[in-house]
Structure 1
Amino acid sequence: MRSKNAGIRDVAKAAQVSTASVSRALNSPESVRPELRARIDAAIRDLSYIPDAAARALSSRRTRTIGAIIPTVDNAMFARGIEALQSYLSLQGYLLLLATSGYDPEVEFRQVQNMVSRGIDGLILRGDVHTDALRRLLASQRIPFANVGVYHPDKPYASVGANNELAAWRACRYLIELGHSKIGMVAAVSANNDRAMLRVAGVRRAVEETGLALRPEWCLEVPYHLDDAREAARTLLCLKDRPTALVCGNDVIAYGVMLEAERRGLNLPQDLSVIGFDDLEWSRHLRPSLTTMHVPTDEVWTRAGEYLVKTLAGRPTALHHEVDVSLVVRESTSPPKASAPITQSIG
């Protein structure tokens, strides 16, 4: 029977390596040759060896734990990003510690305090709306962190994400190029959400460049919920003078808008064009399928993890990384009816 108290020497003996090699494989897996690491991993599995995390932390002053705080788990984009991050960190021998903030900077700060007390080595935060106390805490404890979902090359701390203002501008420009001049927006709540705020700014800039304006009654903010998105759509679609196209803060909001439009008997995209943001899996399966801005979520979170792992290892790495956001044209957008070509039948 396998020993319940297998130690590092047992692993070294089984893998026919030194204890130093086992230690390196556990603490800095990237520094060990793949074939050697595979032998050590096999010995660890065969012996059911569990490293003593407390002892490792004392010897290396590292817990090999990365914290991540997201606004909510009720968002498919966050779930997808966390899954990609965890997969990457696991390969690097790191544990992911997750918490939520509910878009509240004070709650986020308390969660950071809890994580720091548990010895995290690095931290990933969503966006760049944080309290000064949080920044001071991370600086005093010398804990590296990265903001994901935003790209701020002018800031002295790491960011990995898209230029949200430019991406939203591109989405709105596409609708303008289709011939739409009556464009509205159902945005996410912008309070403590710089990504949502920047997307509104991008749409506003695109509209104003055409000599128009983003009319206040055509721009509504809602939480990331289908019910709230449907309520916003109901408000807009009941207006006597309503938009012919809507830019949505994310795909979930777009789903709600499309559901409400369908319920009211509108034909999409002939009566209303809808464009989303994120490119969730469901977006290509809807009927009509959703035109949206594709955000490489997996890349964003994985690169944030890479930044922290390299920084903690003392290896050079870029402080900022901008990901490309691309327009995915599907069935939910078309020229407005007034711009449609007139055809005549010849009898």
Structure 2
Amino acid sequence: MKSVTSDIDTTTRRARGIGIRAVAKQAGVSTATVSRFLNRPESVSAELGTRIRAIVDEVGYIPDASARALSSRRTRTIGAIIPTIDNAMFAQGLQSLQRYLSSQNYLLLLATNEYDLDVELAQARNLVSRGIDGLLLRGDAHHEALRDLLQSQQIDFVNVGVYDPDKPYPSIGVDNEAAGRCIVRHLIDLGHRSIGIVAALQRNNDRAQARLRGIISVLAEAGATPPPEWQIQVNYKLDEARQAARTLLQRSERPTAIVCGNDVIAYGVMLEAQKLGLAVPQDLSVVGFDDLEWSRHLQPALTTIHMPTDEIWTRAGEYLVQTLAGHPAMMHREIDFSLVVRESSSPPKWA
């Protein structure tokens, strides 16, 4: 009796045995035309491309990536290293990046580092060993050995989520320090002076560091620098955010507003405030960063900084694809953020 596994193996071998010549013959074109279409679909007419794609799908032809890499010295593979996949912003950004790279016939390889620079370096070495053509890195906090590795291997890279025009490394993102100043100015303009901070952990996270610098600078200008016990750092987790809120809100003197390192932290702060019997925003204003989808659906809806995540990651992908193609690309690109005022912020009761 023939096994199912045997059938699958036979089908796989048959598909691998179908060559580009068979596709070209059936399409009535040269193998060079088929190869050109597979590498750069836009290089042939739409009608011809549709015909070749239909034949490729019909016969089950799968290009040999290793052979293509040997001939072109390119694998059409982009690597990306992010801190964690347990973050809605990263998931959203990667989806946009994947969509763009797929449209350009590039493959995305993903690795995580948990904000550990040693792990990031090891992951970068793994990706380089697998033949990536380019690499996306989150932020600009990296091992110097990582930059040396990429330079020695002549691998283009871009820092995503930051805008650092004074540095020699490509960057595409927002001015996080300016975003921090913007969100806290909103609270100051509402009349708040007793403002607590539940920030993200700062270790190896230059985006969170920049946001916090912006927040502190505006509070200092307003003469409203919070005491150390009103400045707490947590992971991007609801339970840690709730614990931080409990610490701040159960004091005899508590803030009238809390600025949070991102929307997830803000969700946790709002949940804990409501559990403690405080009304948001009547008793406590809460603001965040990122503008996740849930932020506009909460009751009350969250005031936050909108980060154009889709555009940031798509532009980063475009930078690498254009650079790898030998086309000029803008080395530093600032993407605009915006303040989104919703229901979770209002003047303090006595303002």
User: Shorter-chain TM-score: which interval?
Assistant: over 0.9
Counterpart pick for 2:229 among 210, 217, 239: 217
2:121 alignment counterpart: 109
Matched, 1:16 2:28: yes
Matched residue type, 1:19? T
Matched, 1:152 2:156: no
Matched, 1:226 2:238: yes
Q: Deviations over 1:271-325 (max 9, x none)?
A: 0000110011111111111111110111111111100011100011101111111
Matched residue type, 1:131? H
Q: Which runs of structure 2 are paired with 1:120-269 in the superposition (5 Å)?
A: 120-269=132-281
Q: Deviations over 1:315-345 (max 9, x none)?
A: 1110111111111111101111011xxxxxx
Contact 2:195 2:224 in 1 (8 A): no
Counterpart pick for 1:68 among 63, 73, 80: 80
CA RMSD of aligned residues (A): 1.3
Matched residue type, 1:294? H
Contact 1:186 1:232 in 2 (8 A): yes
Measure, in 1, the Cα distance between the counterparts of 2:147 and 2:42. Answer: 30
Contact 1:244 1:272 in 2 (8 A): yes
1:343 alignment counterpart: none
Matched residue type, 2:229? E
Q: Deviations over 1:216-235 (max 9, x none)?
A: 11111000100000000001
Measure, in 2, the Cα distance between the counterparts of 1:205 and 1:37. Answer: 56
Matched residue type, 1:73? I
Measure, in 2, the Cα distance between the counterparts of 1:154 and 1:32. Answer: 41
1:338 alignment counterpart: 350
Measure, in 2, the Cα distance between the counterparts of 1:243 and 1:38. Answer: 62
Matched residue type, 2:180? A
Deviation at 1:209, TM superposition (A): 1.5
Deviation at 1:212, TM superposition (A): 2.7
SS state at 2:271 partner? helix
Matched, 1:85 2:97: yes
Matched residue type, 1:223? N
Contact 1:160 1:320 in 2 (8 A): yes
Counterpart pick for 2:296 among 284, 298, 307: 284
Measure, in 2, the Cα distance between the counterparts of 1:32 and 1:310. Answer: 19
SS state at 1:24 partner? helix
Contact 1:30 1:92 in 2 (8 A): no
Q: Which has the higher mean CA deviation after the structures are superposed, 181-190 or 27-36?
A: 27-36
TM-score scaled by structure 2? 0.94
Measure, in 1, the Cα distance between the counterparts of 2:230 and 2:42. Answer: 52
Matched, 1:329 2:333: no
User: Which blocks of at least 5 consecutive residues in structure 2 are unaligned?
Assistant: 1-10
Measure, in 1, the Cα distance between the counterparts of 2:214 and 2:343. Answer: 23
1:274 alignment counterpart: 286
Measure, in 2, the Cα distance between the counterparts of 1:40 and 1:157. Answer: 40
- In structure 2, relative to structure 1, the CA distance for the partners of 1:208 and 1:33 (3 Å cut) is farther
SS state at 1:336 partner? coil
Matched residue type, 1:234? R
Matched residue type, 2:305? M
Q: Which has the higher mean CA deviation after the structures are superposed, 261-270 or 43-52?
A: 43-52
2:62 alignment counterpart: 50
Measure, in 2, the Cα distance between the counterparts of 1:18 and 1:155. Answer: 47
SS state at 1:337 partner? coil
The number of equivalent residue pairs is 338
Measure, in 2, the Cα distance between the counterparts of 1:34 and 1:180. Answer: 59
Matched residue type, 1:24? R
Measure, in 1, the Cα distance between the counterparts of 2:136 and 2:172. Answer: 10
Contact 1:186 1:221 in 2 (8 A): yes
User: Which blocks of at least 5 consecutive residues in structure 1 are unaligned?
Assistant: 340-347
Q: Deviations over 1:256-278 (max 9, x none)?
A: 00000010000000000001100
